[in-house]
Structure 1
Amino acid sequence: MIKVFQSWMHRYFSDEEAVVLAVLLLLGFTVIIGFGGKLAPLLTGLVLAYLLQGLVQQLKRWNLPHWLAVWAVFMLFLGGLATLFGVVVPLVWKQIINLFNELPRMLAEWQNLLMHLPERYPAFISEEQIERLVRSANAEAGQFGQWLLSQSLASLPMLMNILIYLVLVPILVFFFLMDSQKISTWISEHLPRRRRLVTVVWEEVNLQIANYIRGKVIEIIIVGAVTYVCFTVLNVNYAALLAVLVGLSVLVPYIGAAVATIPVALIGLFQWGLGSEFMVLMVVYAVIQALDGNVLVPVLFSEAVNLHPIAIIAAVLIFGGLWGFWGVFFAIPLATLFKAVLYAWPRGVEAAVETADSSS
């Protein structure tokens, strides 16, 4: 056992570059896990600047000066932010309020529908079972109302955090974009000169994660916008709220689409019942999901690393449990990082050893 462990350590940590990579990864995860909450605005600005950096580079390839490309992208970012908080968020919030106002009526209709089930199917369900189900549902609704009230009372600190984010994050994004070269140079100066393995891993991870995150943001916007237009044409209630849910559902492959089907089906069922309009709604939703999975995803993620579905679900469960929403959002990039390190580390160590042997 000791020999096996020594052989494993010699294979992966015999070169100083491997040790440097291990220390950098350990330090990075330690900072995120230990200080992620306190550094959240800084990390958010860094991620957004990372997303926008590709657009800056594209404008520079069109012979725009660096400062002009940064200002153009930054103004586009501010415009998107203004649209989000000036149009989308108020519309979604209004529909959330309307939905909660309609919940008592929906629950009453649902109870009336359930009470007729024993008459139609007496062999399968009894009135006593329906009454227990209704009492359980009323108790859950009461607990949910108490939770919602407690959340609303605690919303003032959340509003303050949102205001802090709205001020700090754009400033951080601007400086990250404007001084990206200076920051990269400063980091390089403080890293060991022999860092071939770190460079190999970073180049591969940078390509894959950049493609994934940018593609995922574009996918959310396209799926949400198409869903909103289609649901608005069909006169579906709470179209904006459902569009946001369907757009965000693409964050979690396989699971998200199935979960988003539930509110879409419930809203359509309460609005129309099991009629032709409900069937049209579900067909349109199925077409949107099919086009997303079979057309949009292959186009946006043609260069992304293919991960096994089990690896994706495991990454969502692990990182989502650690960091909530942001853990779910970055689950696949982090899994991509882990995979890239696993694949590049042995090759990088062997190449570094071969290079050292040949130079000696």
Structure 2
Amino acid sequence: MTSDYRWYWAAGFVLLMTLVYFLQPILSPFLIGMLLAYLGDPLVDRLETHGLSRTLGVVVVFAVASSILVIALIILIPMLGHQIETLRENVPAMIDWFHNRALPWVEAKLGIAVSEFRLDAVREGLKEHLGQTTSVVAAVIAKATKSTMALMTLAANLVMIPVVSFYLLRDWDLIVARCRDMIPRHHEPLVAKLMHDCDEVLGAFIRGQLLVMGCLGVIYWLGLWMVGLELALLIGLLAGLASIVPYLGFFVGIVAALLAAVFQFGDLFHLIAVVAVFSVGQMIEGMVLTPLLVGDRIGLHPVAVIFAILAGGQLFGFVGILLALPLAAVIMVLLRYFYQRYRESAAYGKPLVAADVNDAVESSEVEEK
């Protein structure tokens, strides 16, 4: 590639980032639609191998996915809304318990001065803000209806997501083939290999990790429900979402569940039961879910995942969060490629083999004598 073409590619990349920055308000439904099309493409391909047309395969996948989503929403939203209301009502009491019992115990046992924590002010502030609405759903509706334009934008986005997903999923293979045809012929084999590696990493993470997150959320929810925890669904959902970073969901979930169990029950048995639930969940994740659904191709370090999500959100908001992991996967594959090229280059130097090392040692010994 000549320097002129490199400047073209650099200018195109800068232009793309500029467009992303200025078009953030309208990009979300397109990016979500692209993500859904990417997730659904393997299923449609599999249906095509069984004799269905591409369009019919897309319709089948859409119908099944929409049915599952509607059933899940019908079942989970009322339960989740009830638990959020329970949490909202109990937060001031939790703060009182923490201020009147937990902190004095810590102060007496450890000799740490904790009386400066003004939790009473925090409690009053929470009571003031949480008491402004009587329902979580009502709060969301009230916020959405403050602006007619905001409500229309939300409705348009909700309608556009399935439409964009359908057309992208129907033409996914064609779009990929057209993009591949645009690659310069002398670079096409290398770019195709790198994009294949990116697809393996990204597919393993997004498809596999999303399934792991969902399974862990259900496991934690059912386990905490069997223990009798009132906030089982809320904590299970929180732990499942936090599992996008390995082990983060375990720590977030077990801390939240232990605090809720101490406040609700206050005995050792239920604390041990909570620890058992999360221990079983970790065993199932490590021995079954991750090897089966993700495998060893993910390659994204947990710290890199956290940094990518935070950096994307800081730079481009919600659009940046959607773009963070795909860009992180591409960057990681490119870094691996350039690292391998560096190891094979003259700048790194040819490593000494065992015979060369022995010759060097013998020659130094002869020179010393």
- Structures share a fold, TM > 0.5? yes
Q: Give yes or no for the alignment of 1:72 onto 2:57.
A: no
Question: How does 1:48-67 map onto structure 2 within 5 Å?
Answer: 48-67=36-55
* Contact 2:44 2:58 (C-alpha < 8 Å) held by counterparts: yes
Q: Give yes or no for the alignment of 1:154 onto 2:139.
A: no
- The structure-2 alpha-carbon separation of the partners of 1:122 and 1:95, relative to structure 1 and needing over 3 Å to count, comes to closer
Identity %: 26
Q: Give yes or no for the alignment of 1:141 onto 2:134.
A: no
CA distance in 2, matches of 1:26, 1:63: 43
Corresponding letter in the other structure for 2:274? L
Question: How does 1:255-334 map onto structure 2 within 5 Å?
Answer: 255-323=248-316, 327=320, 331-334=324-327
Q: How big is the shift at 1:194?
A: 4.8
Bigger mean CA offset, 167-176 vs 44-53: 167-176
2:74 alignment counterpart: 86
Picking from 340, 343, 347, the partner of 2:336 is 343
* Contact 1:252 1:316 (C-alpha < 8 Å) held by counterparts: no
Q: Give yes or no for the alignment of 1:169 onto 2:157.
A: no
Q: How big is the shift at 1:113?
A: 1.7
- The structure-2 alpha-carbon separation of the partners of 1:23 and 1:300, relative to structure 1 and needing over 3 Å to count, comes to farther
Q: How big is the shift at 1:338?
A: 0.3
Runs (5+) with no aligned partner, structure 1:
1-12, 349-360
CA distance in 1, matches of 2:195, 2:159: 31
Q: Give yes or no for the alignment of 1:39 onto 2:31.
A: no
Picking from 81, 89, 93, the partner of 1:101 is 89
Corresponding letter in the other structure for 2:334? V
Corresponding letter in the other structure for 2:297? A
Q: How big is the shift at 1:73?
A: 0.7
Runs (5+) with no aligned partner, structure 2:
342-369
TM score, norm. by length of structure 1: 0.77
Bigger mean CA offset, 217-226 vs 60-69: 60-69
For residues 92-127 of structure 1, give each alpha carbon's deviation from its aligned partner in whole angstroms, at most 9, with x where no partner exists.
122111221222333333343247549x8288256x
Q: Secondary structure at the match of 1:78?
A: helix
Q: Give yes or no for the alignment of 1:200 onto 2:188.
A: no
* Contact 2:80 2:234 (C-alpha < 8 Å) held by counterparts: yes
Q: Give yes or no for the alignment of 1:221 onto 2:221.
A: no
Question: How does 1:103-122 map onto structure 2 within 5 Å?
Answer: 103-114=91-102, 117=105, 121=108
Aligned residues: 334
Q: How big is the shift at 1:39?
A: 1.4
CA distance in 2, matches of 1:115, 1:200: 58
- The structure-2 alpha-carbon separation of the partners of 1:323 and 1:82, relative to structure 1 and needing over 3 Å to count, comes to farther
Q: How big is the shift at 1:280?
A: 0.8
* Contact 1:252 1:328 (C-alpha < 8 Å) held by counterparts: no
Corresponding letter in the other structure for 1:176? L
- The structure-2 alpha-carbon separation of the partners of 1:245 and 1:336, relative to structure 1 and needing over 3 Å to count, comes to same
Q: How big is the shift at 1:24?
A: 5.7
